[in-house]
Structure 1
Amino acid sequence: MNNLRIPNQRAILDRRKLVAQIAALGPDTGNAADVRPHVVEVLKVALEQGRAELERRLADKPSAGHEITGGYAFLVDQLVRVIHDHVTAQVYPAGNRSAGERLSIMAVGGYGRAEMAPHSDVDIAFITPTRKAPWCEQVIEAMLYLFWDLGLQVGHSSRSVDDTVRMAKEDLTIRTALLEGRYIWGDQQLYDEISRRFQSEVVHGSRQQFTTEKLAERDARHQRMGDSRYVVEPNVKDGKGGLRDLHTLYWIGKYTHGVKSAAELVDVGLFTRAEYRSFRRAERFMLAVRSHLHTITGRAEDRLTFDLQRQVAEAMNFADRPGKSAVERFMQFYFLQARRVGSLTGVFLAHIEDEFAAAKQRRGILAAFDPKPRDLQGYKVLAGRISAPSDDWFRQDPVRLVEIFQLAEEHALEIHPATMRQADRDSGLILKDVQEDERANALFLKLLTGRNNPESVLRWMNEAGVFGRFVPDFGKVNAQMQFDMYHHYTVDEHTIRAIGLLSRIERGELEDDHPRATREIHRVASRRAAYVAVLLHDIAKGRGGDHSELGAEVAHELCPRFGLDAGETALVSWLVKQHLLMSHTAFKRDLTDPATIENYVGEVQSMERLRQLAILTAVDIRAVGPGVWNSWKGQLLGELFDASQERLRLGHKRHGRAQKVTAKRDAVRASLGDKVAVLETHKAEFPDAYFIAEPEDIIALNIVQYDAARRLDHELSVHCEYYEARGATLVTVIAADHPGLFFRIAGGIHLAGANIIDARIHTTRSGFAVDNFLIQDPHGRPFREAAQLERIKRSIADALASRVELIPKLAARPLTHSRSKAFDVQPRVIIDNDASGRFTVIEVNARDRAALLNRLARALFEAGLMVHSAHITHYGERAVDVFYVTDLTNGKVTAPDKLQAIETALVECASDEWQEEMENA
């Protein structure tokens, strides 16, 4: 791809020396088979020494991507030449070869570009004049066997010139591979012939077709890889913004303009010199990352998984900084390069598109017609694109760098890539005077709260570098990843997606998933505050300290600048500070406990805050990544919203405890229909706390199951069914209550491959446990199939009958997330006696694993505590398990020594050391 000079080539492989070593092994003819093992050994030593030299160079110059990948291509080049000469001179010498017995060896694909990572495939095309060439076939076969003996992964083809040209016309992959063909050795005239015919017979007349097919191929690849350049485990080669996107630009440039190297893209006007330099920087960095991935793993690994990110960051000499770890700094730099690739792609393809359009117009019946752009506040608008009227447009008034994006959003226009290039070039004009300019801020706020598509336009603004310049605090989180398995995107991409979700909710497009947010967005006092809160909720990540607290301070500074009044500023600052409050309350607390609602309402204090926080919480969770939002989370947040709304509107709870129990029983009675007698039979056995804690539909199911279990005198009754309202599976276990029942049931459920997300534990006055569990599979989906439900029942029965040894079997199960060991998750226990009026609330944060809930529940049992409800939340590799407990006298746990002992026991059993001990037991 580029004529890169590899320094000190002979230190990698000295071909003359290697040829001499092979020649010394035996005479030219007569005993090639006897000599062959010795030849292979000499070649292996040369290959291993060459690789060792390149690994040393990579360690010394960890960012020298071009030099290292070029070095590996040089190493293979020399081996191919030596092997070819050995085979043609010593294995199959031919004194008088015919005109058809000629062979040319061509490197294709990445090898053709002279860009090879340590374990890249060696892609070779053997070219012959005709199909039937026995001597050529013998030579090719002998060479391939030597390649394979060396352990090289060879992708090869053997074709005549005619066949190669014909197949290139028919197959895009072959055409692309040949496009990067590079002569290595053999018959030079044969290589020249195929190069000439490829240009005249394949490329000529098919430039637009090739471009269209290549872009369609790129789009399909992006779709497979997640269609975002900001996924937190990117594929360096095939992911969006990765090496393959750079290759696509080069392929199209070479095919349409005949360039021989990327540098020539400047000469033909597809890149400016500055853009070419950034092209090379991005390519150099990504080639280096790919080389490190191959070196660390010892295989052709192109995905930057969490466990490898730390190692590559260390190998490339990234260091920790205050508030940001080395791996986060490395990944931020990676995403900045990926973003640069995206902006280069836009500029490049716009040029190609304009060239094709101009050529088509010159040939068409409208050749004399020159469409005139319309004027929009001084800008030119043509074919749905807005563009700057002159090269110095932004220099004349830098506020226009914000204005053009606002106009694009308001009028549903795209920005012409040439103008995007101008904006990128001139973004440095946005200094303090522009940041504080009243008109500029009014335009920005109008864009942010736009009614069409603020998400896409803000993303363009970000990729042009204007967003981060105008809002420097946003620039600090640009391309910043969060090193965990919960967040799927970088902070800036997550924020822009959340703004887009808010816009879609306001337009009513997500009503099925977010009915309350869709309703309440039209009731808030300030929609401007809603959008600004979403923009700023994660603005202070990566600074060290609590990003919510720090973000609230940023909001106090930025909101007045954007034009928000004092009331809106106070509201946004509060929302940023408390943006996790609603989700933490809904997912980690018992919503049937009156203290939960009282504490939450005490913090929220007003309907405006309640509405705004509910909307912010919904878009924040959903923008984390695909599948993070589900109906279970929606249900919990809805219950918290409804209970808080009632409390705020009335100033008190609508019903007292006795009234609630009566109302619940009446509702259950109505739902039971002809089975209503079972409620009258057994209602006295269930305490009031049961009727308050459980929803009426579950009570109806429990009562019917309880009645059947008692009539049939079953010692154990397990009922499982898909519970659509919660997006989970309901498992109800009825059995004679005894100490340790909960942790044994939990163990049985986990052994069946399920995760418990919520649990309520009840004991009837006659001594029976009625325990309700909501479960999902490890991917957050419910169990529905009959065989799955039967497996859960059987597993619970086996655990309660002690037919399985729970601890070793659970410890042997793999981690819920196989790569979670890449993260440092220190167990943390919080014990709170103020969160509930009746219970001590214990929260355990730890690495997620199959045995965790069972082990924690067992530790609580051994500590003499009774679990009344459990609430389990997962954040990627981290689990948060919350228990509402009492001591054996049904009172709170208050003794300091007892609390310390509980904390110590829970930390111990939540630690990685305990897991390792159990696995090795």
Structure 2
Amino acid sequence: MNQTKIPKQRAVIDRKALGGEISALVTEQGEKARPAIVALLKSALDDGRAELARRLAEKPASGHECAGGQTFLIDQIVRLLHDHIIANVYPPGNRSTSERLVIMAVGGYGRAEMAPHSDVDIAFLTPARRTPWCEQVIEAMLYFLWDLGLKVGQSSRTLDEMVKMAREDLTIRTALLEGRYVWGDRDLYDEGSRRFYKEVVHGSEREYVSEKLAERDARHKRMGDSRYVVEPNVKDGKGGLRDLHTLYWIGKYIHKVRSAADLVDVGLLTKQEYRSFRRAESFMLAVRSHLHIITNRAEDRLTFDLQREVAARMNFSDRPGKSAVERFMQFYFIQAKRVGSLTGVFLAHIDEKFAQKRARKGFFAGFKAKARTVKGYKVYSGKIAAPTDDWFQKNPVRLIELFQIAEEEGLEIHPDTMRQAGRDSGLIKAKVRKDPRANALFLDLLAGRNDPEMVLRWMNEAGVFGKFVPDFGKVNAQMQFDMYHHYTVDEHTIRAIGLLSRIEKGELTDDHPRSSKLIHRLNSRRAIFVAVLLHDIAKGRGGDHSVLGAEVAEELCPRFGLSEQETALVAWLVRQHLLMSATAFKRDLTDPKTIEDFVGQVQSLERLRNLMILTAVDIRAVGPGTWNSWKGQLLGELYDNAQERLRLGHVKHGRAERVAAKKQLVAEELEQRSDLIALHSDAFTDAYWIAEPEDIIARNLVQYSEALKLDESLSIQCEFYEARGATLVSVIATDHPGLFYRIAGGIHLAGANIIDARIHTTRSGWAIDNFLVQDPTGNPFHEEQQLERITKAIGDALANRIELAPQLAKRPLPISRSKAFNVRHRVIFDNNASNKFTVIEVNARDRPALLNRLARALFESQLIVHSAHITAYGERAADTFYVTDLTGGKVTAEPRLKAIEKALLEAASDARQAEMESA
């Protein structure tokens, strides 16, 4: 955009010296000089790139200088080739008026923004008709460029063709918009430029803007539709370089500016905004250049495994509570946010400009709509505006009021007023933060009835949110370096508030039926909104963010105007916001002790209702696909059991009554086959009847009955289980040691991940094991052949037709990027969580067949697994097992526990698998 002056240019490439060397080679070797010329230029290209890489290493944030240097290097190579071909290969002789040629740089090359492995986008322009001489020169140049190993995007057109194709194709029009003269006939370039603006651009401005914005929206959707996605695409992602390019393209198309700096002169950007534009652009260009150098290819995605390397190259270092990579990514997202703010203001200006033009035409020419006034603000065309430039300076509380009114009235904020808010956000000092009216307005906005998510995001973009709630400012653009969280902490929080608002409005009843009812039974709706705002407020400080966050809540809630009772509730919710999900996903909900312990911590129905809602929005706001019906069912089961215990002070029904009630429900499921209950119920233990849902029991009874009838020692049933968004795999077999780990191995061999497992043994010695499985992307298996593959693999594993260990070791890791993370393997024993069982939780790097290896280690440690609960948090797995020793007792002896821990840690790390991963 703005051609950057390259210092010590001849250290990058010396065109004059190289030109002399080419002439000497031609003199010495004549027509045979071509290979030597290619070698000479290839060496110059490599040396130039090495010099630019060295400069970037010395000044790792010098994005413009690096991109400009790459462009300068290619320019000189192109000029040398052109001059050599014109002088020595195809000299024109007496040139006709048609034998003219100009070389234009277009696209990123035209902008002088090249990364080390960017494509070289060239347009060859010729007069009215192409001559054989022009075609020979173009062809010769392209062959030279290809021989140099450059990836060339090229077009060759006459002036008429250029005009015609640019009118028809948005991509061609944008490429030519960035057209820059490189070498050749300057008059021809000037004529092409004049015709482009006169015959293509003139009169098509509105159409171009709408098409460009539609293209941008489609690109954002493709890239995750958030500038806070934790593996961003530096070039095409939201808030990335392409968004800055779009601003420039639109400004240039409408105002015919030559550089981004000219956008200030035409009033589209202020000087301060332009400086922000350049800073963000330079940083992102530097990041992109580092990515290309590290990978030695055109890589624009900042993946987890590359983030650490780029952070190190750009001299970011660890700080207490925040690693170097998290600090680097936080800075990256601050730049992306800056780009987002610029985009919003810029496009609103463009929109307004076009709206004014529309108003001046036709019947309404000269008519100006009168602005209405709302609480001292002007409102016109659905936008709220500050009436004067010093509006916020006179009373900084208005910075909060502006956004509260916008939310309450359903208004957008005028771009000039957004600019003012951003400019004046620094006026929010301690006095404003303590102001009761300012806090009441903020609370009204946070718990707004229209769209608090959108307006809080605007408030965050303007920098007002972080100034008014400095603790929130600390998590602004704060990344969580793991594969579980998809967004930065501030974006996750704002999304969670939006989900809470949607649940309250009844928009998510299908996915969250309980929460949609419970939210209208809370004693304080504002307390739950504040709890969602603060639940992750202490991330990145070091220490337990739940405990530290509760301390923040105890300070902030009274400031916001919450009562002592509300403050206590919010602080408890923040401290315990992970309690419900940890219990539901890692503990056996049929074990009475699980419910007793959970209720012992919750202690009241009001806390339980709030915690249920907070847990649901927290999980769902982690990222797409994180919430599913299986998680909803487990949380619902825990809620119902805890709610009954809290409401009545005891469990309403004893064990016998619960079993009888379950049998009645199963009878309704079985309909005509309800006689199976009387026939087989005595074989199944009470624990089985309580543990399994009625629909699964009905399936198991039919399968069990058929297996006995056919005298089968093994029966495997696979089917899509819609209630939990997974595939149900039921295995009925004569029980024997090692059955569980072999079944798990067979399921893994079929390419499936186990997300839950319930293991039962009948009184007559049959194993009834139910597994819920999904594919590696978290979806159920539907297809008949997929289900058959699982059935066959389990059968082969149980019949010893395959050797599990070597077969499983061959399976590749589905997520190789997980190697970018340090996962500490831990084994935790809990003999208090259950009255009957020892509970073992294993935290380890998630990988294929982990459950099989852990189950085998338990089997070899002479333990019986009664149930398993599998939870994945991105790259980390947390697998919980309820076990007894062979006599049915808990495991308590310290030496025994140490031996089990050692076996499980070895299974989790598995040296053979580690070797295969590094191979």
TM-score scaled to structure 1, two decimals? 0.98
* In structure 1, C-alpha distance between the alignment counterparts of 2:462 and 2:5, rounded to whole Å: 34
Instruction: Give 1:120 shift.
Output: 0.3
Paired position in structure 1 for 2:191: 193
The answer to whether structure 1 residue 255 and structure 2 residue 253 are counterparts is: yes
Separation in 2, partners of 1:468, 1:918: 47
TM-superposed CA distance for 1:217, in Å, is 1.2
Indicate whether 1:23 and 2:23 are aligned: yes
CA distance in 2, matches of 1:286, 1:355: 30
Shift of 1:216: 1.4
Aligned to 2:560: 562
Aligned counterparts of 2:408 and 2:912: Cα–Cα separation in 1? 58
> 1-side partners of 2:93 and 2:778: how far apart?
71
Amino acid at match of 1:469: K
- What are the superposed Cα offsets for residues 769-804 of structure 1, whole Å, 9 maximum, x if unpaired? 111111111122222221111111001001111112
Give every structure 1 segment of 4 or more consecutive aligned residues whose post-TM-superposition deviation is greater than 4 Å: 917-921
Instruction: Name which of structure 1's ranges 195-204 and 285-294 shifts more when overlaid on structure 2.
Output: 195-204
Quote the offset at 1:359 in angstroms.
2.4
Kept in 1: contact 2:813–2:917 (CA 8 A): no
For residue 919 of structure 1, report the CA deviation from its aligned partner: 6.2
2: CA distance, partners of 1:653 / 1:354: 64
State the 1:669 CA deviation.
3.4
How do 1:760-909 and structure 2 match up within 5 A?
760-909=758-907
8 Å Cα contact 2:755-2:773 kept in structure 1 = yes
What's 2:528 paired with? 530
2:65 to 64, 67, 92: 67
Contact 2:590 2:687 in 1 (8 A): no
Contact persistence 1:908–1:914 (CA under 8 A) = no
Q: CA deviation at 1:728?
A: 1.6
In 1, Cα distance between the equivalents of 2:895 and 2:395? Answer: 69
Distance 1:91 1:397, change over 3 A: same
User: 2:74 is matched with which residue?
Assistant: 76
Q: Is the 8 A contact 2:384 2:413 kept in 1?
A: yes
Superposition deviation, residue 920 in structure 1: 8.5
Which stretch of structure 1 is more off in the superposition, 774-783 or 418-427? 774-783
1:833–1:892 CA contact under 8 A, matched in 2: yes
The aligned residue for residue 12 of structure 1 is 12
Matched with 1:396 is 394
Which of 185, 201, 204 is matched with 1:203 structurally?
Answer: 201
2:307: which partner in 1? 309
Q: Distance in 2 between matches of 1:919 and 1:515?
A: 43
Q: Which residue of 1 aligns with 2:652?
A: 654
Task: Give the alignment partner of residue 429 of structure 2, picking from 414, 428, 431.
Answer: 431
What is the deviation of 1:195? 0.9
For residue 548 of structure 1, give the secondary structure of its aligned residue in structure 2.
helix
C-alpha distance in structure 2 between counterparts of 1:319 and 1:691, whole Å: 56
* Cα offsets for 1:518-572 (capped at 9, x unmatched): 0000001110110000000000000000000000000000000000000000000
Preserved contact between residue 330 and residue 477 of structure 2 (Cα < 8 Å): yes
Per-residue deviation, residues 493-537 of structure 1 (Å, max 9, x unmatched): 000000000000000010010000000000011101100000000
3-state SS of 1:328 partner: helix
Higher deviation after alignment, 312-321 or 394-403? 312-321
Please tell me whether the aligned partners of residues 866 and 886 of structure 1 are also in contact (alpha carbons under 8 angstroms): yes
Structure 1 residues 485 and 819 mapped into 2: Cα distance closer, same or farther (>3 Å)? same
- Which residue type is aligned with residue 252 of structure 1? I
Amino acid in structure 2 at the alignment position of 1:101: E
| SS at 1:521 equivalent | helix
Deviation at 1:711, TM superposition (A): 1.7
- Read off the aligned partner of 2:26 and give its amino acid letter: G
Identity %: 73
Query: Out of 276, 279, 283, which is 2:277 matched to?
Result: 279
Q: CA deviation at 1:139?
A: 0.7
Post-superposition Cα deviations, 1:820-841, rounded to whole Å, max 9, x if no partner, equal 1111111111110001111000
- Matched residues in 2 for 1:667 and 1:323: separation? 52
Contact 1:549 1:577 in 2 (8 A): yes
Report the CA distance between 1:25 and its aligned residue.
1.0
- 1:748 and 1:328 map into 2 onto residues whose CA distance is 39
Partner Cα separation in structure 1 for residue 241 and residue 348 of structure 2: 20
- Where 2:543 maps in the other structure, the secondary structure is coil
Contact 1:458 1:467 (C-alpha < 8 Å) held by counterparts = yes
Q: How far apart are 1:913 and its partner, in Å?
A: 3.8
- What are the equivalent positions in structure 2 for 1:720-731 lying under 5 Å apart? 720-731=718-729
| Partner residue in 1 for 2:155 | 157
CA contact under 8 A between 1:119 and 1:294: conserved in structure 2?
Answer: yes
The residue type paired with residue 755 of structure 1 is N
CA distance in 1, matches of 2:697, 2:360: 76
Q: Does 1:373 align with 2:358?
A: no
- The partner residue of 2:102 within 101, 104, 114 is 104
Q: Does 1:345 align with 2:343?
A: yes
CA contact (8 A) 1:69 1:116 kept: yes
Residue 811 of structure 1 contacts residue 919 of structure 1 at CA under 8 Å; is this kept in 2? Answer: no
CA distance in structure 1 between the partners assigned to 2:209 and 2:667 by the alignment: 69
**Secondary structure of the equivalent of 1:890?**
coil
> 1:755·1:776 contact (CA, 8 Å) conserved in 2?
yes
Paired residue secondary structure (2:363): coil
Preserved contact between residue 26 and residue 35 of structure 1 (Cα < 8 Å): yes
Q: Which residue of 1 aligns with 2:35?
A: 37
Match of 1:358 among 340, 356, 359: 356
Aligned residues of 1:732 and 1:771 also touching (Cα < 8 A)? yes
Map Cα deviations across residues 713-765 of structure 1 (whole Å, 9 max, x no partner): 11210011122222221111111111101000000001111111111111122
Q: Deviations over 1:70-123 (max 9, x none)?
A: 000000000000001111111111221111111111101110111100000000
Q: Which residue does the alignment assign to 1:179?
A: 177
Question: Out of 279, 286, 289, which is 1:291 matched to?
Answer: 289
- Is 1:233 matched up with 2:237? no
Where in structure 2 are there 5+ consecutive unaligned residues?
none
Structure 2 contact 3–68 (Cα < 8 Å) conserved: no
Shift of 1:816: 3.5
| SS of equivalent to 1:885 | strand
Q: Alpha-carbon deviation of 1:360?
A: 2.6
Aligned partners of 1:237 and 1:823: how far apart in 2?
A: 24
Residues 10-69 of structure 1 show CA distances to partners (whole Å, capped at 9, x for unaligned) of 0000001111111111329x942x111111110111001000000100100100000000
Segment of structure 1 superposing worse, 803-812 or 645-654: 803-812
The C-alpha deviation readout for 1:373-405, integer Å capped at 9, x for no partner, is 001110000011100000000000000000000
Contact 1:127 1:160 in 2 (8 A): yes
Aligned-partner SS, 1:522: helix
Letter in 2 for 1:238: D
| Matched pairs, number | 919
1:823 and 1:372 mapped to 2: Cα distance? 59
Alpha-carbon offset, residue 169 of structure 1: 1.4
Distance 1:157 1:760, change over 3 A: same
Which residue type is aligned with residue 539 of structure 2? K
Counterparts of 2:64 and 2:897, CA distance in 1: 60
Distance of 1:808 and 1:481 partners within structure 2: 38
Is the 1:812–1:919 contact (alpha carbons within 8 Å) kept by the matching residues of 2?
no
Moved more, 50-59 or 125-134: 125-134
Correspondence for 1:759: 757
Aligned equivalent of 2:265, options 262, 267, 274? 267
In structure 1, the residue corresponding to 2:162 is in which secondary structure?
helix
Q: Is this contact kept in 2: 1:350–1:418, CA < 8 A? A: no
The secondary structure found in structure 2 opposite 1:782 is coil
Deviation string 1:288-323 (CA, Å, 9 cap, x unpaired) is: 000001111111111111111111111111111111
- Measure, in 2, the Cα distance between the counterparts of 1:813 and 1:597: 39
Closer, same or farther: CA 127–561 of 1 in aligned 2, 3 Å: same
Three-state SS of the structure 2 residue aligned to 1:7 is: coil
Cα contact 2:406–2:412 (8 A) shared by 1: yes
Aligned pairs (5 A) from 1:422-821? 422-821=420-819
